[in-house]
Structures are given as structure tokens and as C-alpha cells.
Amino acid sequence: MSSSKITSSSTAEYFSKNLQQVGFSSGTKAVLTTLKEAIDNSLDACEEAQILPEIHVEIERVGQGTQKNMDQIRVLVSDNGPGIGAEDLAKVYGEYLASSKFGRGRCSRGQQGIGISAATTWAQLTAAKGVTVITKTKRMPQALKALIEVDIKKNQGSVIEKKNITWDRPQGTCVEFFFDGRLQLQGEGGILTYLKGTSLVNPHLSLKYKINKEEEISLERVSNDTIDLPDAVSPHPHTMKLGEFIHHIHLFGKVSVQNFFEKGFSRISSDVTNEMTKHGFKKAWLNRSLTDLSKDEQHKLYQALQSVELMAPSTKSVLRIGEEALSKSVDRLGEVDFFSVVSRKPQICDAKPVVVEVAVARLKNRPSAEEEQSAQVLRFANRVPLQFDKAACAIVKAIESVNWKAYGLAQPKNSIPLGPYVIAVSVVSPFIKFKNASKETIDASDELVEELRLAIMQAGQKLSRHIKKELRAADYEKKIQHIEQFGPILIEGLGRITSASENQLKKAREGLMKILGRDSEVALEDLKKAEEAHQKMTGKGGASSLSEAGSEEEASSGQETEKSSDKKSSKKNKKDKNDDEQTTLALEGDA
Amino acid sequence: MSRKHLATIKDPDKEVPKIAREMCAEMLKELERANRPVLEAIKCSLDNSFYDHKVGYLTPGEKTVKTELNVSSVLKMSRSVFFLEILLRNLDSGAVNTKRELYYIAKGECKQNKKLKPLDFNDQVESDSIIDFICELMEIYREEINCFANDRGGQTYCQNLIVTEHMPDGTKATIDLSSLGTTPFQPKNRPQSFTIKPKKGQIDFCLVVESEGTANTLVTNGFTKRHNAIVMGAQGVPSNGVRAWAKTIQDQLKIPIYFLGDLDAYTMQNIFRTLKAGSAASLIRNKDFSAPEVRFLGVLPDDVKKYDLTNYNVDPRDPVEGRSLKKAQDALANDPFFKDKKNKGVSEILDWLIKEKRRCEQQAFFMVNPKDPQAFEKIILEKIKKKDYV
Ligand SMILES: Nc1ncnc2c1ncn2[C@@H]1O[C@H](COP(=O)(O)OP(=O)(O)O)[C@@H](O)[C@H]1O
Ligand SMILES: [Mg+2]
């Protein structure tokens, strides 16, 4: 570790010393990150190849870890994706910054080519063994099985063992890691939370998973549409930091600045370059080669670009899960009472196109003690669950800023609402800004938080209709109890005033029971009608149609306060023909 | 059931206990037949109010309010029957109570009898509304079920009036108002049952002053010594006591009654109209609680001009004043009392108030001749003499 070595150190060496920055800061995180990187890659690869993903996961504790307080964990992830060519294997798993997705302005999960190589490194460092890969492309006659390790000094992958095997599928990839870690299943950093979240935002995913010796769980896909990945967009200059810009310059190398502007970016027209001259840009630079620009000139170029007004980037590049698919997917969260989903149209936030989608669900059969617990928040960035450092995240800030009480949920001031709810918020954008390298916290810019807030509020409003409906059902029940309680008192009072015989009273009680029976029938029928109307309403998809449905329902369930001594049932439904509205008038008349 | 019931209730010598028992018997019978009992009461609202100047007060129309036994009315019905029991017991024994006392009596019953516990009242508003409901159902006023409010106002001064009150225990109480000084006689409970007569000869007129303080000023300065008149303070919106007392003075003494109050929409509609013709909310009892002969002596719009009285602007943007202007417009359009030709004088004042957006207080007369303590008295007498009223 002498300083001379560090100067020539490879990217791999750098990362191997800083694994904590990329998701390996603890045992539980190591398991989650490894799993996540593998699944991300599988999903990305399937999407790219227009394949409906089938992913199989096995996670188990196999023994003692090499480090204190660590277990040895085995993680296996296999997919039905396009497979990886033999020539790429070493690169993919053993080399940092080797990605087919880098800087392409797509909403893919992996972005930088760090993830899976970091997992290999971690396995190598803690279990002295890299990753075992089985892969087969359509063209390969046989599958290839190999152990791949990272040559940290050279930032190169080396294939240690390599053999051809027959495999049970025409194409796909399977990776297996052994490494030091700790299994955490539930809770915010839990593996099950990750798998649940991943299945929620990937309705087209069929997922089977087996954890330890437990029975395998199978989550079938709920959508048969392959994801239409929007075309990649060239980066928008305003979405880049100086470092990224300079990196971008290096990628292009020996081309003219003119050419760099045209090929490397969206939205830089000749009008823009004219405008840039007012901000320190020299027209003559256009014909110079990028590599000839001095560091200082590169800075000036960057600054001039940031100083001009540019058209906002196109929103076409952003992918939406969609309300329909999301609705179907919600059921995979567990036993769901009811839910609402909102899929916003693409918006520009901080000069970047972004799509926000929200699902809020109430889970069934949660013990009542949990009512007081905060709702579970599932955060997603480009359909990857975010499970750590939630406090500063834009999504959490937005959820906390919403007044959930208005939708019938309990909420401590400026906090996440309480109860057996899941609030899932997905942000998709080719340019998500994270607060740190481990990509767990979305930067909370005002514009993004506001957009998130709008989406969450819409979902809350929709949800409140379910909650109100539920209250209505409870109301009917209360009404029936009400008459059961007071009817007999009424009859006894009448009996005392009229000195009626016991026989008369008995008959009157029977009469009351008959009336009561009719009332409960009517109440039940009303409830059924309300439920039907409700189903009709939720059957409609799309945010716009839902707002119409909202007003429709408002009209049919208008509640009014009855000024009567009967405060307990003062809320009533106009549909309930039995309610004597006129009583209200009489009392108010004498006010 | 209630229609034929109403006929019985309208019987002139109605017996409250009898009506109540019949009503309950009817409800029980309906229940025995597995029918929902329906209680029917006159709708007490402006849209069911009629006015005929020959009758002189607002009377109810045909509209009724039906309360059927169902989920939302069952508590109210049970409570009503429960309360009837208490009230009937009071009528039996001759005991009286205020609404507040009845609230606690009801609570006490609910406490003692576990079965009644669910009926318990949370506050007086709840029990008051049941008492009112019973009154509406039976078309009686609460005084008829021995429920008396602590009536405000009605402080009366006169040097020539004897009041005889017939006590519940059969005894009589006689009050000679001339034996009182500046401390007034104040009628309570059921002033309709008082017998009143002048000590000697005739009394010339009765003056009702909106401000009880000003009424007392007039008396203390010698009004009733110099004039053979009754002076009464209304103390704002007339209570049942004041209304019934005015009616008793009108009917038994047959003397002119003049009302003197502020010149504003509130006084016209809520104080003067109620005194003279009753209110929509009290349709069933206006007959016994209004004095149709009452005249509006002032402050008249002409007085403001004639005496150059200080007056104030009414700001339609002010929430309170704006609402009262709006209500005045409403009254001109919909209130049968103001729409009646006979009351043109009063509705013209209302119209003037809406158009001019001014108001003037009764005490403004004190600015006319500030050095003369009897100036106000003189103006009143002059106005009466010149028939300067509406
Ligand atoms: N399961 C897989 N199936 C097919 N291709 C894969 C798979 N995993 C990785 N790849 C390829 O390897 C590349 C590098 O992966 P990785 O190092 O995780 O970087 P990133 O995901 O950020 O692109 C991917 O861009 C993809 O082309
Ligand atoms: Mg990756």
C-alpha cells in the first residue's frame, strides 16, 4: 500500500477499498446489495431483449463467516435473459466501469457498471472466491460455467475455471455468490421488503424465491406486456455536473466541439451556441478537436452551457409502470384491503424529465396494535427499491408534507401516517440525482418534492374514498345497533304512560323486531349499492377519469349534518330514504 | 294517525295529559301492528306562515313535519316519550321547572334507572330540543306543560294598575303597582292568567321601550307621575313573558300600546314584529303571545329628519350589518307580515332602511334639547298626540 502503488492504482483497487460506499458497509447491506445488483442486471437485460423476466432467487446461511459476527451467505440469482457472450464474461463480473448502459440517458437500473463487480470483489475479499456464473446466449450451443474473479490491481476480470455444460434452458444467466453477510428478512433493510418492492414495480416479473430451508415462494407476473424501454436520450447539458461533463468529453475523444454538441447532447442548436458566446464561449472552438481543449477551456465550455437557456429535455425517454399494471401488482404486496394508484404524466423537474407513480394500499389482518405504527414506505428509483437513509429522501419528505388526516389516516405532525398501510412511491428518470454513491437517497429538490407531493396527494384522495366507504359500512352497522338499543326503551316508556298490558307490550316488541328486520335489509341493500357504485368507479383507469368519478361519488354520498338530539347518527346518506330530513327543518324552524 | 289527532289537539279546552296519553296509545298500537309510528307536527317556518291583518298575528298553514320511527329518529322518539312522563308527572302535581332544571331531572332519572341510561343527555341543548319537539307535536307551549323560562324583560311601571295573580295553590296575589317606586313589577310565568285592571278610571296608553334602561329613566324622571300610562321595558327581543304580558294589557285594558325602539332592521323584524304578530318559529303559540294593536312610535325615518338626529351608516360589507340588510330584503319579499297592505307603514320603514343604509338609536332623542330632562317625554307625548306613528 505504498503511495507509489496508489498513484497507479486501478479503479478496482479504489473500489475494493471503498466498498462501503457502494453498498457493502455492513453484513445485512452486503446481502441486500449483492442480491440487488444481480436482480437489477437480470431485469435490465430482459427488458433490453424484450423478454418477460423469470427470476429465481435462493438465499441461505451456509455457515460461519470469516469475519466476526458474520455468517457465510449464499446468494443465487438466475434469469431467462439473453445471456452473456463468453468474451464479455470477465468484463461484466470482474471489471469496474464496464457497462453497456453508461451515460446513455435511459431509465435502466444499473447506470455505472460498478455494482456486480463490487459484489464479486466483496465475495473474493470475504470468502476467497469470486462469482460462479452460468450463462447461455441463443447462439451458444452449450452453456458456459465459469468462476470469475477481479484482478484488483489491473481492474480486470479473470476467468478461473471455465467449462461447457448442458443447461435446462435455451438462454439465461445464473450467478452464485458466497460471502460474509447477515440475513435480515423483514424491516426497512430486509430482503423480503426488497423482493416485495421489486415485484410491485415490475408487474411483468415472475419471481420465485427460496430463503434458507423455507418453502419456495412463487409470485406470478400480473402483466404480460414486455416493457417498452423508451429510446435513450442524449444527455441534457443542464443535467450534468462538471465532473460528468468532463467524463463525457473523454468518452467522445477526438471529435470537433461542433460534433460533440450535436452527437453528445440533446437541445444544443446553433442559436444556443450563438447565445453561448455571450458567456465566454468562442465560436472558433466549434471546429477544434475536443482533445485539444485545455482544462480551463473545458471549464469555460461547461460554464457557458450552464448559463444559456435550453429547451427542457424531452419527456419521451421516461418509462411509466402505468396505473393498470401497478394496480394488479399491488395485490402481490400481501393481503390488501384496498388501494389506490396514481401514475403521473412525465414532468420536467430541475430540467430533467421524471415520472412519479404512487400506490397506497391498506393491508388486511394486521393486528390492531400495528395501527399505531407508521405506514410502510417503499421507495423506488428507476424501479429499484431504496432501503436505506430514508430520512433525507425526497420521497419521504413529500409523504411527510401531505396532510393525511384529510384522507382519514392518523398522522403525527409532519410525519409518515400511521396504520397498516403501504405507501409505494416510484421515481423514474434517466437522470436521477442521488445524495450519495450508494444511491439510497433521492436528492430532495423543491421541484421534485412538489411533484411527488402532488402524486401522493392524488393517491391519498383516491384512497380516502375507500376509507369513507368503509366508514359508511360501519355507519349502517351502528344504525342497526341503535334501533336495537332504543326500540325497547321506547316501548317501555309508551307502556308506562298508557298503562298498557303486558300482552300489548309483547306484541309491540314483536312489531318492532319486524320493522328492524326491514331496516337491516334496506341498510344492507344500500351498502351493496354503494359498493357497486364504488366498483364501477374504481374500474375506470387513468388519473383524469378518476377525478370525474370523484365528483360523481361526492354527489351521491353527500353528507349533511342533522341538527337533532340524535348526535350519534348525525351523519346520514341522502340515499337512505328512511331518514326523516323534515325533522331537521322542524328543529331549525324553532331555533 | 296524526291528522285526526291534530283535530283533537285543536279542541279549545285541550287537556295536555289526555292528548299525551292518546298520542302514546296511538304509537303503541302502530307498533303492535308492526307499522312505523309517525308523529306529525306543524311546520314552524316562514314558508308555512300566513298573515291576515284581521287576525293580527302569523298563523300556521297546512304544512307538517312527519317523524317516522327509524334509525335516525328512534333516539329522539324514545327521549320524547321519556320526557313526556316527567312532564306529565309535573302537571299532575302542579310542579313547575325551568328547562335547565328539567335537564337535570332527566339526567337524574337516567342515573337512577339503568335501563334508561342510553337516553342520558349530554347537554341542555339536547334536552331543550326534546321539550321543543314535544310542544310542536302537541301544539302547546311549554308554559302549558309547566315549563317556565327565566323570562327576560317586561319590567313594568304604572301609578294606576292592579295586577291579580292566581297562584297554583288556589290563593291570589294582588299587586298595586303605584305602591312601587322606581323598582318595576316584572311579570313571570304565565301573564295570560293575570287579571289586571286600573286602580281607577281608565289608563290612557302603554309605552313599550326597547331599552329597559331608558324605560327606567323615563319613570325615574316622573313619566308615570305626570301621565296616566303604563311604561314597560322590553329588554331586547321580547321573551314569552313580555309577549304574553303585552297581549294581556291589550286584551284586558283595551288601551293603545306604542313601541319605541331603535330605527334599524333588527328592531323592526325581530323585536317589533315579534311583539305585534309573533314569529315563524312560534307559529302555534302566536295567538297567545302577540299584541296586534301595538304601534311603532319611533324612531321613525321622519323623526331623524325632523329632529336632525345623529345617525349611522350601515355598511353592507360588514358581515353582521350586511346580513341584517339581506334579511330585511328577504322579509320584504317573503314575510307575509311585511307583505300585508295593512302593514305598509312598517314595510316602508324597512324599505327606507335598505335604501338609505342608515340607522338611528332611540336614545338619540336626548340630543334634541339636552338641557331639559323632560325633553324625551315631551317628544313622546307630542308624537302620540299628533298620531305620529305607524
Ligand atoms: N444477467 C445478465 N444478463 C445479461 N447481461 C448482463 C447480465 N448482467 C450484466 N449484464 C451485462 O453486463 C453489463 C455490466 O453490468 P454491471 O457491472 O452490473 O453494470 P450496469 O448494470 O451498471 O450496467 C451490463 O450493462 C449488461 O450489459
Ligand atoms: Mg448492474
What ipTM does this complex have? 0.79
pLDDT value at residue A468: 74
Q: Where are the domains of chain B?
A: 6-148, 155-385
Find the residue in A nearest to B79 (Cα): A490
SS3 content of chain B, % helix, strand, coil (to 5): 50, 15, 35
Q: Which residues of B125-152 are buried (b: 16+ CB within 10 A; e: fewer)?
A: ebbbbbbbbbbbbbbbbbbbbbbbbebb
How far apart are the CA of B13 and the centre of ligand 2, in A?
97
Is the CB of residue A79 below 6 angstroms from any atom belonging to ligand 1? yes
Q: Do B20 and A519 touch (CB under 8 A)?
A: no
pLDDT value at residue A338: 85
Q: Do A586 and B133 touch (CB under 8 A)?
A: yes
Tell which A residues from 492 to 531 touch B, by Cβ distance under 8 Å: 492-498, 500, 504-505, 507-508, 510-512, 514-515, 519, 523
Q: Do A565 and B82 touch (CB under 8 A)?
A: no
Q: Which residues of A273-300 are buried (b: 16+ CB within 10 A; e: fewer)?
A: bebbeeeebeeebbeeebeebeeebeeb
Interface test with B, best of A524, A580, A585, A588 (most B CBs within 10 A): A580
Q: Following DSSP, what letter does each residue of B268-298 receive, concatenated?
A: IIIIIHHHHH--GGGGGGGGGS--TT-EEEE
Q: Which residue in A103, A377, A38 sits closest to A236, CA to CA? A: A103
Please provide the size of chain A in residues: 591
Q: Do B24 and A511 touch (CB under 8 A)?
A: no
The residue to which cell 447477515 is assigned: A182
User: Could you read off the pLDDT tens digit of each residue along chain A, which spans 591 residues?
Assistant: 433 333 334 666 777 777 777 778 899 999 999 999 999 999 999 988 999 999 999 999 999 999 888 999 999 999 999 999 999 998 888 887 666 555 555 666 765 556 788 899 999 999 889 999 999 999 999 999 999 998 887 778 889 889 999 999 999 999 999 999 999 998 888 999 999 999 999 999 999 999 999 999 999 999 888 777 666 667 777 777 787 788 778 877 788 888 888 877 877 888 888 888 888 888 888 888 888 888 888 888 898 888 888 777 676 667 788 888 888 888 888 788 888 999 998 888 887 789 999 999 988 865 555 456 889 999 999 888 998 888 889 999 999 999 998 888 889 988 999 988 999 999 998 878 888 766 789 999 999 999 999 999 999 998 888 877 776 777 777 777 777 889 899 999 999 999 999 999 999 999 988 887 777 677 677 667 666 655 554 443 333 323 323 333 333 332 322 223 333 333 333 333 332 222 222 222 232
- Residue whose Cα lies nearest atom 18 of ligand 1: it is A116
Nearest to A498 among B25, B45, B70 (CB): B25
Interface test with A, best of B31, B99, B132 (most A CBs within 10 A): B31
Give the number of other Cβ atoms within 10 Å of residue B113's Cβ.
13
Atom of ligand 1 nearest to the CA of A102: 23
Looking at beta carbons, which residues of chain B come within 8 Å of A487? 74, 78
Q: Do B281 and A587 touch (CB under 8 A)?
A: no
Give the number of other Cβ atoms within 10 Å of residue A221's Cβ.
20
pLDDT value at residue A273: 86
What CA–CA distance (Å, rounded) separates A227 from A320?
Answer: 9
Is the CB of residue A92 below 6 angstroms from any atom belonging to ligand 1? yes
- The DSSP call for residue B158 is -
Q: Following DSSP, what letter does each residue of A161-217 receive, concatenated?
A: EEEEE--SSSSEEEEEEEEEE----SSTT-HHHHHHHHHHH-TT-EEEEEETTSPPE
For CA atoms A37, A38, A43, A45, the dihedral sign is: positive
Model confidence, pTM: 0.52
The residue to which cell 293580527 is assigned: B56
What CA–CA distance (Å, rounded) separates B263 from B230?
Answer: 22
A490 in B contact zone (CB under 8 Å): yes
Q: Do A578 and B71 touch (CB under 8 A)?
A: yes
Asked if B60 and A570 touch (Cβ cutoff 8 Å), the reply is no
Asked if A191 and A31 touch (Cβ cutoff 8 Å), the reply is yes
What CA–CA distance (Å, rounded) separates B259 from B57?
Answer: 16
Was domain B6-148 assigned CATH 1.20.1290.10?
no
What CA–CA distance (Å, rounded) separates A196 from A423?
Answer: 13
What CA–CA distance (Å, rounded) separates A249 from A291?
Answer: 8
What CA–CA distance (Å, rounded) separates A218 from A190?
Answer: 18
Instruction: Tell how strand B58-60 and strand B172-176 pair up.
Output: unpaired
pLDDT value at residue A56: 98
Phi and psi at B234, nearest 5°, equal -90, -30
Find the residue in A nearest to B45 (Cα): A589
Nearest to B43 among A564, A572, A586 (CB): A586
- Residue whose Cα lies nearest atom 8 of ligand 1: it is A41
Tell me the per-residue pLDDT of B147-190, one tens digit each, with 9 for 90 and over: 988 788 999 999 999 999 988 778 899 999 999 989 999 998 78
The residue to which cell 298553514 is assigned: B61
pLDDT value at residue A451: 95
Residue B74 C-alpha cell reads as 328512534
Q: Which residue in A121, A200, A136 sits closest to A167, CA to CA? A: A136
Instruction: Tell how strand B257-260 and strand B205-209 pair up.
Output: parallel
- Residue whose Cα lies nearest atom 1 of ligand 1: it is A42
Name the residue of A92, A132, A155, A438 whose CB sits within 8 Å of the most ligand 1 atoms, as the mutation to test its pocket: A92
Name the residue of A41, A43, A55, A114 whose CB sits within 8 Å of the most ligand 1 atoms, as the mutation to test its pocket: A41
Q: Do A508 and B31 touch (CB under 8 A)?
A: yes
Three-class secondary structure of residue A22 per DSSP? helix
Asked if B282 and B239 touch (Cβ cutoff 8 Å), the reply is no
Ligand nearest to the CA of A77: 1
Please provide the size of chain B in residues: 390
Residue B37 C-alpha cell reads as 309510528
The residue to which cell 327509524 is assigned: B70
Was domain B155-385 assigned CATH 3.60.20.10?
no
Strands (E), A271-428: 336-343, 347-349, 352-363, 376-381, 384-386, 421-428
- The H or E element spanning position B301 is helix B301-306
What CA–CA distance (Å, rounded) separates A19 from A13?
Answer: 10
Is the CB of residue A85 below 6 angstroms from any atom belonging to ligand 1? no
For CA atoms A492, A498, A501, A504, the dihedral sign is: negative
pLDDT value at residue A272: 85
Low-confidence ranges of chain B (pLDDT < 70): 1-14
Nearest to A590 among B21, B27, B44 (CB): B44
Give the number of other Cβ atoms within 10 Å of residue A576's Cβ.
17
Tell me the per-residue pLDDT of B337-378, one tens digit each, with 9 for 90 and over: 999 999 999 999 999 999 999 999 999 999 999 999 999 999
Interface test with B, best of A477, A562, A583, A584 (most B CBs within 10 A): A583
The residue to which cell 316519550 is assigned: B81
Residue A376 C-alpha cell reads as 410502510
Q: Which residue in B23, B69, B113, B85 sits closest to A482, CA to CA? A: B69
pLDDT value at residue A240: 76
The residue to which cell 325533522 is assigned: A583
Find the residue in A nearest to B285 (Cα): A590
Ligand nearest to the CA of A12: 1
Q: What are A289's strand-pairing partners?
A: A256
Q: Which residue type occupies B41?
A: A
Is the CB of residue A120 below 6 angstroms from any atom belonging to ligand 1? no
